[in-house]
Amino acid sequence: MPVSVEVVIPVLNEERQLPESVRKLNDFLGHYPERDWRIVIADNGSTDRTPSVAQELSRELPAVRLLRLEQRGRGRALKQAWLGSKADVRCYMDVDLSTELRFLPDMVTAIADQGFDIAIGSRLARGSVVVGRPLKREITSRGYSALFRTMFFTKFKDAQCGFKAVSAEAAAAILPLVKDNGWFFDTEMLIIGQHSGFRIREIPVKWIDDPDSRVKILKTAIEDVKGLLRLRFGGTPRADRRGRPG
């Protein structure tokens, strides 16, 4: 049987961008029939027409379904989508498709065929290409990378690129231990994963900045630092590889 792969797109008030992105992703996946692909639109608390648009897309495209959460939080949406999935490989990407889709098969292959537990797109790894990113965001990203690598001796460099995949085993073991439901979710998952001995593959990608990004840099940076301090001084939990918290 082909490896099953579920791609989650977490969204909040994205009624305009969602149709184009989902159709583009769906068309792209059609070129890789060796995998059993599914797309999940994880709406977390939208107040516009995003849920209705997602329902229309699910009727139009058989591989698409909607997961609706009333509470906001990208991490919360990903946790519920991944823990509720039955797919062998569970991915996610940002709705703006800032990371080029051509790197998605490599990320899936790292888990399905190469024995990695987690695969992440990286804008900081050697060979990556970043286009149009403001200097302030670039400095913030590199500073954050230096901070968590110093605090936790991590091998990965880019924790916050919205382009990741996990195995079913890694999801079951790690996600129940992740406390953050917002933007720090990614970093916490990766730190716990490495601390627990899960293998992480960092893949250099081409990433094009979205000038309409709604990420609030200062607020996000403060929350990220708080999360790092919580893990550093509160203790980093360890997951076991049988899918249960250790």
- The whole-angstrom separation of Cα 10 and Cα 215 is 14
Cβ(204)–Cβ(122) below 8 Å: yes
Cross-strand partners of 118: 166, 200
Cα-based distances in Å from 224 to 79, 144, 163, 187, 236: 18, 9, 18, 8, 15
Known catalytic membership, residue 186 = yes
- Out of 96, 186, 224, 240, which one is annotated catalytic? 186
Show the CA angle centred on residue 36, arms to residues 44 and 27, nearest 5°.
70
As annotated, the active-site residues are: 186
